[in-house]
């Protein structure tokens, strides 16, 4: 089972917006994060069934340069969450407004690019603890403020796909399933991952990079059976450039534990954008809901 640290106290929430959509409500909240040391925003979609009973939760992790807004506004996921009766929770991708030296220099590192790791290097280690934020502080905040069943799964896109895979693999049993659109599947072997890990974790030789790489973690996974669904467009320029490497994850799963059930779906000509995500998000939510609602 997953090895959970002591949960931080749930945060006091401020509701920033509420919009009715597909019979439910898309809301955005802010709270003061003790883990990240800043104000954070996250979205929650409450489907219409929420008025009658507690519901399972799917967490969504977004990609590079995104905030909590991208998924809410572009994915069309609310339609399918309403159809299947699941809550969607989507946090921001990094700490904000800390003005750490160098945090806004590059689009693929720092603000909007937390990579869902726990940084160990200065000046990042005090605030860039996105793994702990997502899996501990955000979880406790959701559980203490909303009516949820306790059944939960996780999905994400690109950097967020990497994050979703790592969260599920590092904390066996916490999530009943994981799926990812165009995930960074083997970050220690691609430029995006190498840049982020060097900055947040230090040199490969001493930074324990393999503890944050799904293609390495899957080989030593030891927990309940874990369904993994990976979705990849063949027209994705980042796939063609070798940033994503889903085939490496497939090979690693074959070499690793039989507890992993990986499906890789290749989508002909689709790219890396939210046009692609919105085309197949219904498929992902249906897969998650089937598992989350199973008795």
Catalytic residue annotation: 158, 236, 272
Separation CA 135–CA 5 (nearest Å): 10
> Could you give the CA distance from residue 88 to residue 179 in angstroms, rounded to a whole number?
14
Q: Token pair for residue 228?
A: 């993994």
Interaxial angle between packed helices 77-84 and 274-292, expressed in degrees from 0 to 180 and rounded to the nearest 10: 10
Where does 34-105 show beta strands of DSSP type E? 38-46, 55-61, 87-91
Contact indicator for 40, 31 with CB cutoff of 8 Å: yes
Strands (DSSP E) found in the chain: 14-21, 24-33, 38-46, 55-61, 87-91, 148-157, 178-181, 226-233, 260-267
Beta strand pairing call for 55-61 and 148-157: parallel
């Amino acid at each position: 089972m997953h090895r959970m640290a002591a949960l931080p106290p749930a945060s006091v929430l401020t509701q920033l917006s509420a919009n009715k959509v597909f019979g439910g409500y898309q809301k955005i909240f802010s709270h003061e994060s003790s883990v990240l040391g800043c104000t954070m925003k996250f979205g929650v979609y409450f489907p219409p069934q929420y008025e009658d009973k507690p519901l399972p939760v799917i967490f969504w992790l977004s990609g590079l340069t995104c905030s909590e807004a991208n998924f809410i506004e572009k994915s069309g996921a609310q339609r399918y969450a309403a159809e299947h009766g699941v809550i969607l929770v989507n946090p921001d991708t990094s700490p904000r407004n800390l003005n750490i030296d160098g945090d806004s220099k590059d689009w693929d590192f720092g603000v909007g690019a937390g990579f869902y790791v726990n940084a160990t290097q200065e000046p990042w280690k005090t605030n860039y603890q996105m793994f702990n934020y997502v899996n501990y502080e955000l979880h406790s905040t959701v559980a203490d403020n909303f009516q949820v069943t306790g059944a939960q799964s996780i999905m994400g896109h690109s950097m967020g796909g990497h994050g979703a895979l790592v969260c599920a693999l590092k904390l066996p049993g916490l999530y009943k399933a994981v799926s990812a659109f165009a995930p960074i599947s083997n970050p220690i072997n691609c430029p995006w991952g190498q840049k982020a890990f060097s900055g947040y974790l230090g040199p490969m030789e001493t930074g324990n990079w393999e503890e944050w790489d799904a293609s390495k973690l899957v080989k030593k996974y030891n927990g309940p059976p874990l369904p993994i669904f990976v979705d990849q467009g063949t027209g994705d320029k980042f796939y063609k450039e070798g940033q994503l490497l889903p085939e490496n994850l497939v090979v690693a799963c074959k070499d690793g534990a039989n507890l992993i059930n990986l499906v890789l779906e290749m989508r002909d000509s689709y790219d890396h954008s939210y046009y692609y995500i919105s085309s197949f998000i219904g498929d992902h939510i249906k897969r998650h809901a089937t598992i989350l609602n199973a008795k």
